[in-house]
Amino acid sequence: MDRIEPRVHQKNIAAQVCACAFTDYPMITSYWPDRGRRARHLEWYWACAVKYGLRYGEAYTTSDVAGISVWLPPGQTHITTWRYVRAGYLPLPLKMGVKQFFTQTMKGDKLVHQVHEEIISGPHWYLFIIAVDPDRQGRGIGTMLMQPGLEKADTQGLPCYVETHDERNVPFYLKHGFDLVRIELVPGSDLRFWCFLREPSKQ
């Protein structure tokens, strides 16, 4: 396992992996219902997300960049618009479509952040991104990518938080000690997200 350094070629490869892994992720398809438009912008979107993680958190990958995890540590778990802008997301309304962005996407993102802070407002670790190349899934890579953050949280005696918009991911988080604490529906849509909390291990 390697910690990603802010080198352009690694960021680009990590963004490609995320784009492949999340092509049909419900949140992403709600952002870009049109598959062609989604394909044009998805790698750019995830490059910004990886940049956010490198700026405000800790990013981990395998030596061949088969996957990536981004953990936001205590003190960095509050997502702000200014931080999104600094990560490169300013053109997002144009790439997504201004109407779509302001009527649906902002509403959904606001609810995700609101629920996060309602569930846990104290110090914790936030699993911001975890993605594995679809061709390499099912080989334990996701488990390896999750470990650095879990171990740091356990060492510090702190909980971990994560949410997913894909119900198929629920067993994965349960297997790694997370408890499902809340399920939310974004108003005016059929987009749901599942929220998890993991208490620190006492071992």
Query: What domains are there in the chain, each with its CATH number?
Result: 2-198 (3.40.630.30)
* Amino acid 9: pLDDT: 75
CA atoms within 13 A on the CB side of 58: 19
b (16+ CB within 10 A) / e for 78-106: ebeeeebeebbbeebeebbbeebbeebbe
* Amino acid 191: pLDDT: 92
Asked if 113 and 186 touch (Cβ cutoff 8 Å), the reply is no
* Amino acid 4: pLDDT: 67
Residue 58, beta-bridge partner list: 71
Tell me which residues of the chain have a pLDDT lower than 70.
4-8, 202-203
Q: What is the pTM of this model?
A: 0.93
- Round to whole Å and give the CA distance between 81 and 165: 21
Reported in sequence order, the residue ranges of 11-102 that DSSP labels E, i.e. its strands, are: 58-61, 67-72
Return the residue matching tokens 């802010």. 6
| 3-class secondary structure, 90 | coil
Whole-angstrom CA distances from 90 to 45, 94, 149, 178 are 11, 9, 29, 33
